[in-house]
Structure 1
Amino acid sequence: MPAFAAVQPLGQNAAPPTGAAAPAPMPPAKPRKSEGPAAPVTRADILRGMYGPYRANNDLIGYHLDIRVDPDKETISGKNTITFRMLSDGNRIQLDLHQALNIDKILLGTTELKYERDSGAVFIDFPETLHQGATYSIDFYYSGHPLKTGRFGGFVFDKDPTGKPWIYTSCEDEGASLWWPNKDQWRDEVENMEISVAIPNNLVDISNGRLLGHKDLGDGYTRWDWLVHYPINNYDVALNIGNYQHFGERIGGLTLDFYALTGDVDKAQKQFAQAGEMINAFQHYFGPYPFIEDGYKLIEVPYAGMEHQSAVAYGNHFENGYLGKDWTGVGISPKFDFIIIHESGHEWFGNAVSAADRSDMWIHEGWTTYLEALYVEYRWGHDDAIRYINGMKPKIFNERPIITERGVNGNPTEDQYFKGALMLNTLRSVINNDDKWWPLLYNFFQEFKYHNIMTEDVMTYFNHETGMNLTPIFNQYLRHADIPTLELFFDPLQGTVSYKWRVDEPDFAMPILVGEKDHWQRITPTEQWQTMKTSLTKDQFDVATDLFYVNVAKY
């Protein structure tokens, strides 16, 4: 028997039902540690994050990073050849290099250029005007001791368990200019890149792109040459130097290359077998692996992991879950290796589709966290995927908006991961038609592959392709701290329930499923009270909170 009669709107200006005029906010289920306020913005953040006139007047074409790494002295030295096209006439550009490193000289041909340093920014002046439409290359020579800093080390001179050098980079938060000179921002990526790394003969360097070869330099060093065929984020550029052993496989025309320390090869061969099924899963949803000319690489590192493009860093101890733990606490994550799936998922979102400003980093992390759930659905079905993604809810704080201030290198809240993923799961339920949802995801990726985009691009695309106004939904989840609360007021004497959304975003009218799980009814609450008949009591009346990420307040 259906539990509902027809919905009866109360009208735009109707008063709340008796007893529900001033509902109190729902308290959290239990006290949790606060995520805390956002870090204060520094001058260095502004100079790095702002797309100022000396960034905007030029368009990157290519880098050739050509360096020597000395494990004994713990130094790097060399140059980056930076090729760019001028978008307007000018005689100054902005690049970036951490102040801990020395600038040895900057050349335009044989002409040494003058420059000014300011909090990591390097403003380079040219003796004559650079003309709009013309292409130029400069050689930026530098040297010094790069910093070991940040969550994963920045640039680290380390030792492997046998005492041999193990040198690695990971600098997403700190910025690539921590160890090499570049245009250290997200909006403008090079079209391709060469990476040449000279290291002692007994070591191997694994970097991004396709290995062109290695050459003995005759002085105890070998130069390893790599070519990146695609646009690449600066922070994705990576060195992995150590006593690596290689093994691999193919999926059609795609090479999968794996690198592990000599003592870990047996464990790696067993664990890295998951990479092939991961590739199959994400190709199923989004199309071919986006960097096929560069191939896919998975490389052992001593930190947790990082999505370095075509050279994914792996440090999950060859165990399923995350560092041996049930990542979402619902029994699903022990079925797979979190680092292999999540960090490789960034090849699609973060590396191929990239945010143009760090403020919109949810485009990397929210989408890739959602890809984890898609991987679970591909392998083990819809119900396990829903259990998995709902297991993320205790990780969300809802204290600050996900999207931060733009142009200041702002660090988004960690809610961008889990809240972002649950928002996408909610959108799937709003659209309510998987025959539309799957092509929508596929075409969205194909539309923005190799592009740097903002949240507005995502909203515009989804609105256009669905014919729905999803902007208020995106805005509520991304630009406000709180999630929607569905308020329900029950009148048992009348056999009715009144309902509305409590939200921050104007014109919010998200549909939702309510009633009984096996007999859901789809309603569209607004910010105004509406009333419907129901035979269910307050305790019996349910809301599909596993399909929609919302709070529910019953009165």
Structure 2
Amino acid sequence: MIVTALALLAAAAEPPKKGMPAITEQTQRSGGERTADQLALRFDSADLAFEVLPDTYQLTGIATLGFTAKTPLTRLVIDLDRNLPVSAIAIDGVTLPASAWSNPEGQLVIRLPRPLTAGQSVSARITYGGTPHVALNAPWDDGVVWSKTPDGRLWFATTTEGYGCDLLWPCLDFSEGEPAAVTLHVTVPKGLKAPSNGKLLGIDTLSDGRTTWHWRTAHPNTYAIALNVGPYEEISGIYKSRFGNSIPMFYWYLPGEKAQAERLFAEFAPTLDFFETMIGPYPFGDEKVGVVETPHKGMEHQTINAYGNGYAKAIEGFDWLFQHEFTHEWFANQLTAANWDDYWLHEGYGSYMQPAYGQWREGNARYITMMMGQRSQIVNKAPIVRGKILTEEEVYEASRGGAGLDIYMKGSWMLHTLRGLIGDKAFWDVTRLAVYGRPDPRPGNFTPRFGSTREYEALVAKVTGKDYHWFFDVYLRQAALPDLVETRTGDTLTLAWRVPGNGPFPLPIDITVDGIRRTLPMTDGRGTLTISGDAHVVIDPDARVLRRSIAVEEMQAWQARPR
């Protein structure tokens, strides 16, 4: 019996393989069409108590969730991976029998002891735990990461953007399922730290040396709740905002990296100043700017952004990954897309703000160099926006019709072209309205909000006084790029836009003739000018317009050839 028990214990201590334990199709689905029961809930609060158990590779939790019914309800439908089985549920303090709930496929259905009428609130206390799904390749495939520091201590992280919050805790796994407030209590082994979302409320030390870290955050994105555990060291400071408030800044890094960590931390304040100058106040200044080193590349976890870029150096002189994830505090966490179909608002802007920062730091040469680095990655296989409610995988996976990386790079280039079209002031005014919902953001006069492509188009029309639906229809709702066809007959040069769908496309184009610049208005999609036969002509000399490039297509075909 002793041998058997020891064998079982040893087996239980084996780390799960990557991609295991398997998750259901329901758990893998994030976003998309939701049940009427879920849409009928307003998510008021979540109190989440976690314990990370590295000896058994398990995660246990007690989630106390507060909801208000928008319409009458007889049950709660809550997303939760079945690899974290439920052991007890209490509704408004009354323990339910096990027969009152079920979770066969990753969606927990709880039969309420009494029906809810519209406007009534309910509290559900859910005790659960098990072996969480291990990410196959975080952060591109989601789950937990069990890792070790160079000296052999636990280094643990979570990432859930793709498959959703239900990998870790019972939640509403769609964008508009954000809870108004979340309190976290994270218990970890002795000697380890647990930086997480929001403001630190305190740390309790238990009798055996374990510690419980208490955090609170407001309006977190559904996939933004993150657990990070390790023997972290900490750098902190205060940023004096141009808006008059003081913002605490923290970076948690692994031992032995102090010099590198300090150099990265030195980027925090100037990056903040860039965003506050160009867009507006840091959205979570009453909580913190937080970054934590992780055993995966990175992710925009609200106020605790994951960083795993290895302190890489690049010619632009700043850490692109830190800047990209920090961008998402504005474009993902403050402005959240209401539907995955609109995720270019996150990733298009998320990618565009690195060249914009390069321009702010060094000027136009750096900006266009970085933009051209993105241009070669645009593949135009699927539209960025499809006009329906989508899951995360339907957006990202080419096999499911998704645009994939084009959400990032094509979205960025569309913004670059839009900025050239409507001008700098209008572009940043539109951006500010999209992020804050108002033109005059100040600390305390805004909260996180949801946005959509249609709203963004309306904001462009509001700011400019013009309808640019033709622009967005081509760049967002068509896969192929507009093609600028050049015809030269004698002394006449004709330029004509050819666009998918053959709709209107009056996008002006700059041109230089023997070094003299002019702009062709292309009002009906065409423009002509008279030039001498030996004139030197350069079309779009500043590369302001996203259009078809034969050179890019041939290069991509060459790169994809069999070797």
Q: TM-score range with shorter-chain normalisation?
A: 0.7 to 0.9
Query: Alignment partner for residue 429 of structure 1, among 407, 411, 420?
Result: 420
Query: Alignment partner for residue 430 of structure 2, among 412, 432, 440?
Result: 440
> Which residue of structure 1 lines up, in the alignment, with residue 34 of structure 2?
51
Aligned residues: 500
* 1:447 aligned partner, one-letter code: G
> Which residue of structure 2 lines up, in the alignment, with residue 166 of structure 1?
155
| Distance (whole Å) between structure 2 residues aligned to residue 259 and residue 46 of structure 1 | 32
Matched, 1:207 2:196: yes
| Distance (whole Å) between structure 2 residues aligned to residue 149 and residue 283 of structure 1 | 35
Given that 1:487 and 1:502 are in contact with CA atoms closer than 8 Å, whether structure 2 keeps it comes out as no
- Percent of aligned positions with the same letter in both sequences? 27
User: Alignment partner of 2:256: what SS?
Assistant: helix
Matched, 1:66 2:49: yes
Query: CA 1:135 to 1:417, structure 2 compared with 1: closer, same or farther past 3 Å?
Result: same
Given that 2:335 and 2:435 are in contact with CA atoms closer than 8 Å, whether structure 1 keeps it comes out as yes
How far did residue 515 of structure 1 move? 3.5
* 2:143 aligned partner, one-letter code: G
Query: Alignment partner for residue 498 of structure 2, among 494, 498, 501?
Result: 501
Query: Alignment partner for residue 479 of structure 1, among 473, 477, 480?
Result: 477
Indicate the RMSD between aligned Cα atoms, in angstroms. 2.3
How far did residue 368 of structure 1 move? 1.2
> Which residue of structure 2 lines up, in the alignment, with residue 387 of structure 1?
369
How far did residue 371 of structure 1 move? 1.0
Matched, 1:550 2:551: no
Unaligned runs of 5+ in 1: 1-40, 322-331
Given that 2:335 and 2:448 are in contact with CA atoms closer than 8 Å, whether structure 1 keeps it comes out as yes
How far did residue 536 of structure 1 move? 6.0
Given that 2:43 and 2:179 are in contact with CA atoms closer than 8 Å, whether structure 1 keeps it comes out as yes
* 1:275 aligned partner, one-letter code: F
CA displacement 1:80-99 (0-9 Å, x = unmatched): 11111111111123211112
Given that 2:300 and 2:325 are in contact with CA atoms closer than 8 Å, whether structure 1 keeps it comes out as yes
User: Alignment partner of 1:379: what SS?
Assistant: helix
Query: Alignment partner for residue 299 of structure 1, among 287, 292, 303?
Result: 292
Given that 1:306 and 1:343 are in contact with CA atoms closer than 8 Å, whether structure 2 keeps it comes out as yes
User: Alignment partner of 2:200: what SS?
Assistant: strand
Given that 2:27 and 2:166 are in contact with CA atoms closer than 8 Å, whether structure 1 keeps it comes out as no
| Distance (whole Å) between structure 1 residues aligned to residue 494 and residue 319 of structure 2 | 45
Unaligned runs of 5+ in 2: 1-23, 241-245, 397-403, 439-446, 552-563
Query: CA 1:538 to 1:236, structure 2 compared with 1: closer, same or farther past 3 Å?
Result: farther
| Distance (whole Å) between structure 2 residues aligned to residue 121 and residue 530 of structure 1 | 57
* 2:225 aligned partner, one-letter code: V
Query: CA 1:261 to 1:47, structure 2 compared with 1: closer, same or farther past 3 Å?
Result: closer
CA displacement 1:432-472 (0-9 Å, x = unmatched): x3243333333332217611221111111111111121122
> Which residue of structure 2 lines up, in the alignment, with residue 37 of structure 1?
none
> Which residue of structure 1 lines up, in the alignment, with residue 322 of structure 2?
340
User: Alignment partner of 1:469: what SS?
Assistant: coil
| Distance (whole Å) between structure 2 residues aligned to residue 544 and residue 341 of structure 1 | 29
Query: CA 1:359 to 1:444, structure 2 compared with 1: closer, same or farther past 3 Å?
Result: closer
Query: Alignment partner for residue 274 of structure 1, among 267, 276, 285?
Result: 267
| Distance (whole Å) between structure 2 residues aligned to residue 57 and residue 497 of structure 1 | 57
| Distance (whole Å) between structure 2 residues aligned to residue 134 and residue 103 of structure 1 | 25
* 1:205 aligned partner, one-letter code: A
CA displacement 1:272-311 (0-9 Å, x = unmatched): 2111111111111111211011110111112211111101
| Distance (whole Å) between structure 2 residues aligned to residue 414 and residue 318 of structure 1 | 24
> Which residue of structure 2 lines up, in the alignment, with residue 491 of structure 1?
489
User: Alignment partner of 1:174: what SS?
Assistant: coil
Matched, 1:145 2:125: no
How far did residue 485 of structure 1 move? 0.9
How far did residue 500 of structure 1 move? 3.1
CA displacement 1:304-333 (0-9 Å, x = unmatched): 111111011111111223xxxxxxxxxx53
User: Alignment partner of 2:237: what SS?
Assistant: strand
How far did residue 42 of structure 1 move? 5.7
| Distance (whole Å) between structure 2 residues aligned to residue 51 and residue 505 of structure 1 | 36
| Distance (whole Å) between structure 1 residues aligned to residue 542 and residue 482 of structure 2 | 11
| Distance (whole Å) between structure 1 residues aligned to residue 325 and residue 183 of structure 2 | 23
Per mean C-alpha deviation after superposition, the further-off stretch among 120-129 and 437-446 is 437-446
Given that 1:66 and 1:196 are in contact with CA atoms closer than 8 Å, whether structure 2 keeps it comes out as yes
Given that 1:358 and 1:406 are in contact with CA atoms closer than 8 Å, whether structure 2 keeps it comes out as yes
> Which residue of structure 2 lines up, in the alignment, with residue 110 of structure 1?
94
* 1:73-88 correspondence runs (5 A): 73-88=56-71
How far did residue 518 of structure 1 move? 4.9
| Distance (whole Å) between structure 2 residues aligned to residue 506 and residue 367 of structure 1 | 26
* 1:354 aligned partner, one-letter code: T
State the structure with bigger RCO (CA 8 A, min sep 6), 1 or 2.
1
Matched, 1:312 2:305: yes
> Which residue of structure 2 lines up, in the alignment, with residue 249 of structure 1?
237
> Which residue of structure 1 lines up, in the alignment, with residue 391 of structure 2?
408
* 1:160 aligned partner, one-letter code: T
Given that 1:507 and 1:526 are in contact with CA atoms closer than 8 Å, whether structure 2 keeps it comes out as no
How far did residue 138 of structure 1 move? 0.6
Q: TM-score, normalised by structure 1?
A: 0.85
Q: TM-score, normalised by structure 2?
A: 0.84
| Distance (whole Å) between structure 2 residues aligned to residue 245 and residue 47 of structure 1 | 34
CA displacement 1:232-272 (0-9 Å, x = unmatched): 11211111111011121111101111111111122211222
> Which residue of structure 1 lines up, in the alignment, with residue 20 of structure 2?
none
Given that 1:503 and 1:527 are in contact with CA atoms closer than 8 Å, whether structure 2 keeps it comes out as no
Given that 1:476 and 1:505 are in contact with CA atoms closer than 8 Å, whether structure 2 keeps it comes out as no
User: Alignment partner of 2:287: what SS?
Assistant: coil
Per mean C-alpha deviation after superposition, the further-off stretch among 142-151 and 405-414 is 405-414
How far did residue 78 of structure 1 move? 2.0
Given that 1:166 and 1:243 are in contact with CA atoms closer than 8 Å, whether structure 2 keeps it comes out as yes
